[in-house]
Structure 1
Amino acid sequence: MQLYRLLTEEDTAAFCHKVTAALNAGWTLYGDPTYGYDAANGVMRCGQAVVKEAPGDYSPDLKLGQL
């Protein structure tokens, strides 16, 4: 099955670490990163989509971050 996640985080080193951890867990970058202002919290936020091929069947109950 093909899996998809959108990683988001404030514009800090934490975002880079989150993406790096996903890459080291076998996820692949999908598309360009995104960057925008979170007016509710007054911070800039980053986003990056990642994909991964995994065995098994899809279920909405999957914990994508644990695969």
Structure 2
Amino acid sequence: MPKIYRLLTEEDTSAFCHKVSLALSKGWELHGSPAYAFDAASGIMRCAQAVTKDIETEYHPDMKLGQQ
């Protein structure tokens, strides 16, 4: 079964947690640990979390991964 990958990013706020929670509720699975980095240009912390999902169709670069 093919697997797709997304990297979710957001400012370090509850919006990031909601974005990851929404992906998990749609069948995505966490892949690795979250990452945090300081964005010096904007003066904020940013978060990232990789997620993966098994799909039944063949992967195509035109896929809208957020709608999977």
- TM-score (normalizing by structure 2): 0.95
Q: Deviations over 1:14-47 (max 9, x none)?
A: 0000000000000000000000001121110000
Aligned residues, how many?
Answer: 67
Instruction: Name the structure 1 match of 2:12.
Output: 11
Q: State the one-letter code of the partner of 2:52.
A: V
Q: Which amino acid aligns with 1:63?
A: K
Q: Which moved more, 1:11-20 or 1:37-46?
A: 37-46
TM-score calculated relative to the size of structure 1? 0.97
* Structure 1: 5+ residue stretches without partners: none
1:33 is the counterpart of 2:34? yes
Give the aligned partner of residue 57 of structure 1: 58
Structure 1 residue ranges (4+ consecutive) displaced by more than 6 angstroms after TM superposition: none
Fraction of identical pairs, as percent: 61
> CA RMSD for the aligned pairs?
0.5
Hey, what's the Cα distance between the residues in 2 that align with 1:35 and 1:16? 13
Cα distance in structure 1, aligned partners of 2:47 and 2:21: 14
Give the residue type in structure 1 aligned to 2:15: A
